[in-house]
Amino acid sequence: MGAYQQTYQRSLDDPEGFWAEVAEAIHWDKKWDKVLDDSGAPEYHWFAGGKLNTCYNAVDRHVEAGFGDQLALVYDSPATGKQRSYTYAELQDQVARLAGVLAEKGVGKGDRVIVYMPMIPEAAFSMLACARLGAIHSVVFGGFAANELAVRITDAAPKAVLTASCGIEPGRVIAYKPLLDQAIEMAECKPDFCLLLQRPQEAASMIPGRDLDWEECMATATAHGCVSVEATDPLYILYTSGTTGEPKGVVRDNGGHAVALTWSMRNIYDVQPGDVYWAASDVGWVVGHSYIVYAPLFNRNTTILFEGKPVGTPDAGVFWRVIEEHKVNVLFTAPTAFRAIKKEDPDGTFIKKYDISSLRSLFLAGERSDPATLEWAEEKLAVPVVDHWWQTETGWAICANCLGLEQFPTLHGSAGKPVPGWNLQVLDESGKQVESDKIGALVVKLPLPPGAFPTLWNAPKRWYQAYMAEYPGYYLTADAGMIDANGYAHVMSRTDDIINVAGHRLSTGGMEEVLAGHPDVAECAVMGVADEMKGQVPLGLLVLKSGVDRNPDDVVAEVVALVRERIGPVAAFKKAVVVNRLPKTRSGKILRGTMRKIADSEPWKMPATIDDPAILREIGDSLRTIGYAGDK
């Protein structure tokens, strides 16, 4: 039995003993009373009674151990042409003083703080400063519109909002302050104050009595120490993206999070203290939380914070330039990034211009990696390329090729094998385990390992109904797939209305709410269709109200603009078509799955329960007018 199998088996046979050993790798102010508290099952809590501080484990303990001069954070911004580096000692100073600013304004343990920031060092400082105080941060991706931000402000009821005057995209500057002001106006709860960093690209107007200048406050700030919190206290809330209705705030606790992420760096990613690690993502997503900010710092790595794009800032060679300049050892990004690079530079000409010999491995996650992209990356980079699978809710990988334990052969189309701690199974509709190579619902037998979410913010009933009710004793991933005879997991498709656009999980139901709000739209459906670059993109079908006598193209343009305004450009909602009616079952359920197959030119069967078979042929004709349902 190899190292992977031994470790995996032990984690399932003796989870409390396994994780108690792993937990010795972090600093505890007080050891736990119980490794696993199962008294509230199916809600479990790890390291109950233990006390620690996440920021201390990420920053202070390394300075105290004599590593204050090691680089902790490198900010590389091709968007602005700027670079800044911070040692662990310098990071400690920035974070402690920012914590002092927040504490002086009344922020303390358990208070919520919204962070609405672009990819700049201050975003990481904000998260760590909240953790230092025991406050709960909730980072909102800077690409979200005012309505989305307002919903999160209402739900989290933050004492403060930390923001910057703008974000920068290729060729344009996005002003954040007008969006924030509008969101606060719309929100039911109002923050006590906003702390704003003025960026030179866009000056923001300030509201007296509410808005504070970042640099002015930091200039007179007093450093604040680390506040000890319970292992089971929340560290952050991260709202799952794309919903326009009731928000879904994933909660992460302090203790299990620090334990699991520290273990993952060495055992999954094979990253040792002192290595340079780059997660090319955004702090607004779970990857940014786990693997830009927390895990690399727990493991005393140098983490790269990149403000740019894989192509266009300035070209398809920017990733290789960053790897060469900063001697990156491990890169973690989304398959979308590599599809974009491959499209711009199919022969890998840019790769040859840089010395990327420091790179040991590439990890991909956020959506399914297509075999062609994996093969291209393997050939051009000549390093192991690992497709692995995890979710906002899980906080770290469910499946991977655990390079730090034992590298097993890559199987293209698979997300690897279950990671130690994750008892992954495949169940049929009746809740019975299916045979190898048979597709079913991918579920994880409870308890989930440390680092996974214990609940949803302010929504325990929704947490239970969404994740625990369908298969009692199991966590429902909402993904369908299989485990083959050799133990490799294959994630095939979503089982709900979530689509995956360039690694960002977005709700088609949320988009339908926006479309349905247009005054001319009677009915609508949104489905995820295949896209070569983004994996999936949303496609809308609109039925107009009777009597509406307008150019359908005008209505389509308006609903596209509405989605951009309400959800944001991240939704990538660019195409819709007006149809006479939507295909439904006799019970009234819209046949989204069948329409998606038609759009993607996949084989499909006429559903037995359809109310009118002719409508699907009409749908195919309509989709062909906008470039879908053709021969592919």
Beta bridge partners of 527: 539
Widest CA span of the chain, in angstroms? 75
Evaluate whether 212 touches 194 at the Cβ level (below 8 Å): yes
For the record, the structure tokens of 171 come out as 């060729």
Dist CA 23 CA 274 (whole Å):
20
Under the banding of pLDDT at 50, 70 and 90, the label for residue 608 is low
Under the banding of pLDDT at 50, 70 and 90, the label for residue 368 is confident
**pLDDT surpassing 70 at residue 223:** yes
**pLDDT surpassing 50 at residue 558:** yes
Angle of helix 371-381 relative to helix 335-344, nearest 10 degrees? 70
Dist CA 254 CA 46 (whole Å):
10
Q: What is the CATH number of domain 498-624?
A: 3.30.300.30
Angle of helix 592-599 relative to helix 614-624, nearest 10 degrees? 40
Under the banding of pLDDT at 50, 70 and 90, the label for residue 424 is very high
Dist CA 167 CA 307 (whole Å):
9
Delimit the domains of the chain by residue range.
3-308+388-468, 498-624
Q: Give 3-308+388-468's CATH code, choosing from 1.20.58.740, 3.40.50.2300, 3.40.50.12780, 3.40.1010.20.
A: 3.40.50.12780
For residue 172, the one-letter residue type is R
> Residue written as tokens 């952050």?
236
- Nearest alpha-carbon partner for 301 in 340, 262, 332: 262
Phi, psi of 433 (to 5 degrees): -65, 135
**pLDDT surpassing 80 at residue 503:** no
For residue 594, the one-letter residue type is T
Predicted local distance difference test score (pLDDT) of residue 388:
95
Q: What is the mean pLDDT of residues 238-263?
A: 84
DSSP state of 351: G
Contacts with 500 (C-beta within 8 Å, 6 or more apart), sequence order: 366, 367, 368, 494, 506, 528, 535, 536
* Alpha-carbon distance values, 492 to 100, 389, 466, 471, 548 (Å): 48, 11, 20, 19, 40
Average confidence score pLDDT of the chain? 92
Under the banding of pLDDT at 50, 70 and 90, the label for residue 605 is confident
Q: What is the mean pLDDT of residues 428-435?
A: 92
Of 163-177, 239-253, 308-322, 542-556, the one with minimum mean pLDDT is 239-253
Exposure string for 115-141, b = 16+ CB within 10 A, e = fewer: bbbbbbbbbbbbbbbbbbbbbbbbbbb
Contacts with 13 (C-beta within 8 Å, 6 or more apart), sequence order: none
**pLDDT surpassing 90 at residue 546:** no
- Nearest alpha-carbon partner for 176 in 208, 140, 127: 140
Under the banding of pLDDT at 50, 70 and 90, the label for residue 505 is low
Dist CA 566 CA 561 (whole Å):
9
Predicted local distance difference test score (pLDDT) of residue 492:
77
**pLDDT surpassing 80 at residue 510:** no
Q: What angle do CA 252, 258, 264 make, to 5 degrees?
A: 105
- Nearest alpha-carbon partner for 43 in 460, 479, 471: 460
Contacts with 98 (C-beta within 8 Å, 6 or more apart), sequence order: 125, 126, 129, 218, 221
Of 41-50, 239-248, 383-392, the one with minimum mean pLDDT is 239-248
3 state DSSP class of 146: helix
Dist CA 443 CA 422 (whole Å):
10
**pLDDT surpassing 70 at residue 490:** yes
Predicted local distance difference test score (pLDDT) of residue 58:
98
